[in-house]
Amino acid sequence: MKIIHALPFLIASVDAFSQPSAFIQPTVFSRHVANTSSARHSSERCRLNMATIAVFGASGLTSSECVYQALERGDTVIGLTRDPSKLKIPKGSGGSKEGQPLPDYDGRLTMIAGSVTDKADVAKAFAASETIDGVIIGLGGKTSDVGNTMLTDGTNNIIEAMKEKGMTGRLAVVTSIGAGDSENQAPFFFKILMKTAMKKIFVDKNNQEAATMNSGLDYCIVRPGGLTVDAPTGVINVIEGEAGSIPRADVAQFCIDAITVEDFPYINKNPCISSVGGTSWVKDRSAKARGD
């Protein structure tokens, strides 16, 4: 693993097996799976091979899944995070390897220490490879630690850098159920958190989504339900109703497909996703959900 040290500052988090996920879009969310095989076969035919992917927030719980899965399928990854030493094999898709340092992958992993709020740090990520095929943004952290506008400011810096590089690849941005026009898809108790303890972060998430939609780039805003660190299910429901829970590993699979599958069906859309685990969840602040 190559590490490029920039000025460390504020940044937090944003998985792929060789097979793409199955995308299901019921009119109303249900627990049964429909048209799974046709969706999977279509994605297999059109998947890009050995892409170069930039992941911002690379050591976070969801982002580390993106990094690990992309490397495992043969991609090259450039990651930006405040502390590259925190990047470990994730629990969800890593299984018994959880917590181990990532191997070198024959030089296919480059980590940059820096912050998305620093344009120079972001520029170093894009300068690390002549060609970057797609970008995943999976930032996080408490506003008390990272500031009230880190998500928006960082996303704007990344969008600007993509345009300066002349990128034609896609952008996948992980936000949350309840962001933007999905407020009514959040469970009741989560709505209360959105308007109280999480009010500032949701203002930032909404502004981050607006910046992405107004960027002029091809994008997919990914709004997951309640996040877990469980093993991937391999099935992802794109829902219109109330969101259920979903493993971070499945979210990461969806993000990688969003930037590598040629005929991905949710380009320039804002899908809410959850697993087959049901439609009721409460935000899990336990050590298990954080991967501790």
* Model confidence pLDDT, tens digit, residues 170-204: 999 999 999 999 988 888 888 899 899 889 999 99
Q: Return the pLDDT at 15.
A: 33
**Can you spell out the DSSP letters for 101-114?**
BP--GGGTEEEEE-
| Strand partners of residue 173 | 137, 221
Three-state secondary-structure class, residue 239? strand
pLDDT attached to residue 32: 27
> Are the C-beta atoms of 52 and 76 separated by less than 8 Å?
yes
Per 3-state DSSP, what percentage of the chain is helix, strand, and coil (rounded to 5)? 40, 20, 40
Residue with tokens 């070198």: 104
Of 54, 37, 251, nearest to 135 by C-alpha is 54
pLDDT attached to residue 139: 96
Q: What is the largest CA-CA distance in the chain?
A: 48
Which pLDDT value is given to residue 285?
46
pLDDT of 37 above 80: no
Q: Cα separation of 4 and 199, whole Å?
A: 35
Is the pLDDT confidence value at 209 over 90?
A: yes
Residue 7 pLDDT greater than 60, yes or no: no
Of 110 and 31, more confident: 110
Interatomic CA distance for residues 98 and 233, integer angstroms: 17
Lowest mean pLDDT among 21-25, 119-123, 214-218: 21-25
Q: Name the residue with higher pLDDT: 54 or 292.
A: 54
CB atoms within 10 A of CB 285: 8
Q: What pLDDT is attached to residue 136?
A: 98
The Cβ of residue 147 has, within 10 Å, a number of other Cβ atoms equal to 16
CA–CA distance, 219 with 163 (Å, rounded to integer):
13
pLDDT computed for residue 18 by the predictor: 39
Q: Which residue has the higher pLDDT, 140 or 165?
A: 165
Q: Kindly list the strands in the beta sheet with 2-5, ordered across the sheet, starting from the edge strand earlier in the chain.
A: 2-5, 109-113, 76-81, 52-56, 134-137, 170-174, 219-224, 272-274, 235-239, 22-24
- Which pLDDT score is estimated for 43? 42
DSSP at 183: G
CB 155 within 8 A of CB 211: yes
Query: In which band, very low, low, confident or very high, does the pLDDT at 234 lie, cut at 50, 70 and 90?
Result: confident
Indicate the DSSP class of residue 13: -
* Locus of tokens 């899990």: 284
For the stretch 97-150, pLDDT in tens is: 999 999 989 999 999 999 999 999 999 999 999 999 999 999 987 777 788 999
Indicate left, alpha or beta for 205 from its phi (over 0: left) and psi (-120 to 50: alpha): alpha
For residues 224, 230, 232 and 236, what is the CA-based torsion angle, rounded to 10 degrees?
A: -30
> Which amino acid would we find at residue 17?
F
Q: What's the pTM?
A: 0.83
Q: Indicate whether 168 pLDDT > 60.
A: yes
Of the candidate ranges 3-7, 232-236, 238-242, 282-286, the one whose mean pLDDT is the lowest: 282-286
Report the C-alpha gap between 54 and 80 in whole angstroms: 8
Residue scoring higher pLDDT (85 or 14): 85
Decide which of 144 and 65 is more confident: 65
CA distance 160 to 90: 30
Average pLDDT over residues 241-261: 93
State both tokens at 223.
Answer: 């709004």
pLDDT given for residue 121 in this prediction: 98
Beta bridge partners of 272: 223, 239
CA distances from 85 to 58, 92, 126, 175 (A): 11, 19, 20, 25
Per-residue pLDDT at 87 exceeds 90: yes
